[in-house]
Amino acid sequence: MSSKAFPLPTAKAHQWVVYLTARCNFSCDYCIQKGMIIPGEKRRPWGRYDELSGEAWVSSLNALPERPEHTLILTGGEPSLHRDFLYIATHLEGYKLDLTSNLSFDIDAFVDAMKSAGKTFFSSFHTYHPKFMAPEEFVRRARKLRDSGVIEQPVFSLLDLDAFPHFRDEEHDANIRSFYEAARGLGLDFQRNEFRGNHMGDAFTHEHKQQMGCTSGWVNFAPNGDIHNCQFHLEARKHSFGNITDIGRVKPIPSFGEFFACSDFGFCDPCHENSGRGAFMDGEGKVFRRNADDSRVYLRWMKVEDSLKVGRRFLDEGRPEEASQAFLVAIGKQQEEEGEASPEAWAELGLSLWATGEEKKALAATLQAIKLGKHDPDCLCAAVELGRRTGHQEEVQVDLLQFLPPERLQEIEKAVEAVFV
């Protein structure tokens, strides 16, 4: 380093993260390490890198004259996919190491290598991915790693997608239930992690940018060794401060709390803002982090049938307001594409609005479903009862008589009276 000041921040706020690879053997549509988080669209990697060899990582990191106060995180992508993963894990010196992994690697080989080298990790973080590994297999691997003695503080987790049926289906939910059962049966402690897929009431869409002051508590090493203090810039391969293999030529990274101008706000990675290791400053000097978390932003990209499925799941899970939004989005898309929405969609909207207490709106949606041909008993009974509740009973009778004979309407009214009155 000669007389030049060390360029990488080592204060308590900063976290050093080594992205050994951008590759992953899983392809979750809710993965935050991608530009746009679109339900149903598998993760697309940032692209291929000329990855540093294990020898280059070890020699470069071990040569640094200073160390971070936090752990040095080895991550990806999936870090164990790096061809020299075990060499790196067993040859770094002077660091408290942390491993972030999906737990798909060879646990026995990892444990044997660490024990042979007399090495341990201080901590590790492993999240269960229910669509890519059987719950019993993950728990078996987690228990083996926990009991191995080569990681002092392992953490096992689930991503909390309860509020996001956009990214869940029956297979996902069934595997989560099985995970709970298997984990508790074997005494495995785990935590639920917040989904960080959106911020400021919007998704990370990569649709628009704006000027913003930024401060970051990250030192990110890309798979090729380039150094960034922002994960978006790492993924986009722009604004590098230099490369780990030539630390003497690396430009100083701003300290935490030191705001610098950035024109890429809006493309920021969720981890930057939602972790407490970054903040923004607007043109009026207001400093902020995330202040909203609205799951409905994902509906904009979903197909009509998927929006309807999300609405039904919201309704089944006792969230009628969110269900109404999903049905409204589906209806809007159907009208745009086909000229009119399906009677089923209108009926489901009516049901969800009724559950929110919006009885007049629920009646209007239900009558529209009937007008379009949905004449099943549930829908007809709903219209009659909503008419009674809103004081529009006579108007509803007039509307229904356009589609029903009087005796059929009388049967419906008697059935409703028997149930509701």
* Run means of pLDDT, 10 residues per run, the chain, 421 residues: 77 90 92 81 80 98 94 95 98 97 97 98 96 96 96 95 93 96 92 81 76 90 95 90 97 89 82 66 82 77 94 96 96 95 97 97 97 95 95 94 93 88 65
At 242, phi and psi to the nearest 5?
140, -165
Residues 6+ away with beta carbon under 8 Å from 6: 64, 65, 66
The pLDDT, as a whole number, for residue 206 is: 74
| pLDDT for res 279 | 82
Burial of 123: CB neighbours in 10 Å, binned 0-12, 13-18, 19+: middle
Q: In sequence order, which residues have a C-beta less than 8 Å from that of residue 391 and are 6 or more positions away?
A: none
| Residue whose pair of structure tokens reads 């809007």 in the numeric block | 332
3 state SS of 72: strand
Number of H helices, E strands in the chain: 14, 14
- Domain made up of 15-280: CATH architecture: Alpha-Beta Barrel (3.20)
Q: 198, 228, 235: which is closest to 214 by C-alpha? A: 228
d(CA 337, CA 145): 52
Question: In terms of DSSP H, where are the helices of 83-169?
Answer: 85-91, 107-117, 135-146
261: amino acid identity, one letter: A
pLDDT of residue 209: 87
Which residues does 261 contact at the CB level (< 8 Å), separation at least 6?
Answer: 211, 212, 213, 214
The tokens describing 4, both together, are 């030049």
CB 274 within 8 A of CB 291: no
**Displacement of CA 294 from its chain's centroid (Å):** 12
SS3 (DSSP) at 417: helix
Q: Quote the pTM value.
A: 0.88
- E strand or H helix that includes residue 234: helix 231-236
∠ Cα 279 280 286 (to 5°): 115
Tell me what pLDDT residue 113 has.
Answer: 98
Coil, strand or helix at 77: coil
* Cross-strand pairs, 369: none
Structure tokens at 187: 């005494």
Q: At 124, give phi and psi (nearest 5°).
A: -155, 160
Three-state DSSP at 221 gives: strand
One-letter amino acid of 157: S
pLDDT of residue 365: 97
- CA-CA distance, 83 to 49, in Å (whole number)? 13
Position 421 scores a pLDDT of 65
pLDDT at 275: 58
Residue span(s) of the chain under CATH 1.25.40.10 come to 302-420
> Residue ranges of the alpha helices (H) in 302-358?
304-316, 320-338, 343-356
Q: 250 and 31 in contact (C-beta within 8 Å)?
A: no
Using alpha carbons, select from 362, 293, 360 the residue that is nearest to residue 327.
362
pLDDT at 256: 81
**Torsion (CA) 235, 11, 192, 290 in degrees, nearest 10:** -70
Q: How far is CA 293 from CA 22, 33, 323, in A?
A: 27, 18, 16
Q: Which residues contact 248 (CB under 8 A, 6 or more apart)?
A: 1, 2, 4
For the chain, give every residue range classified as CATH 3.20.20.
15-280
Domain 302-420 annotated CATH 3.40.50.970: no
Q: What are phi and psi of 235, to 5 degrees?
A: -65, -40
Nearest to 266 by CA among 218, 211, 215: 211
pLDDT of residue 195: 86
Comparing CA positions, the residue from 333, 411, 342 lying closest to residue 371 is 342
